[in-house]
Amino acid sequence: MLFSTRTLLLALATTALGHVTSPRRGRCAQDDPSESNIAEMERMAEDARLHPMVRVNASNATLELDIYFHVISTGPSVAEGNLGNGTLMNQLNVINKDYAPAGIKYTLRNVTRTVNAAWYGVTMGSAAEMAMKKSLRRGTYRDINVYFARLSGGVLGWCTFPEVNPTAHMRTRDGCVVASQSLPGGIKPYNLGRTLTHELGHWHSLYHTFQGGCTATNDRVEDTPAERGPTYGCPKTNPDTCTGARFPGVDPIHNFMDYTDDICMNEFTPGQVTRMFQAFARMRGAARGGYYPQY
Which are the catalytic amino acids? 199
Which phi and psi (to 5°) does residue 179 adopt?
-65, 130
Which phi and psi (to 5°) does residue 259 adopt?
-115, 20
The answer to whether 206 touches 33, Cβ cutoff 8 Å, is: no
Query: E strands along the chain, which residues?
Result: 11-12, 20-21, 63-73, 104-115, 144-149, 157-159, 176-179
SS3 at position 273: helix
Taking the C-alpha atoms of residue 222 and residue 42, their distance in angstroms, rounded to an integer, is 11
Rg (CA), the chain: 18
The answer to whether 256 touches 98, Cβ cutoff 8 Å, is: yes
The answer to whether 151 touches 125, Cβ cutoff 8 Å, is: no
SS3 at position 233: coil
Instruction: State whether the Cα torsion 128-132-135-139 is positive or negative.
Output: negative
Angle at 240 between CA 234 and CA 241, to 5 degrees: 105
Structure letter (DSSP) for residue 215:
S
Q: Closest Cα to residue 205, out of 159, 165, 167, 170?
A: 159
Taking the C-alpha atoms of residue 99 and residue 91, their distance in angstroms, rounded to an integer, is 12
DSSP H or E stretch at residue 93: helix 85-99
Q: Closest Cα to residue 156, out of 128, 195, 124?
A: 195
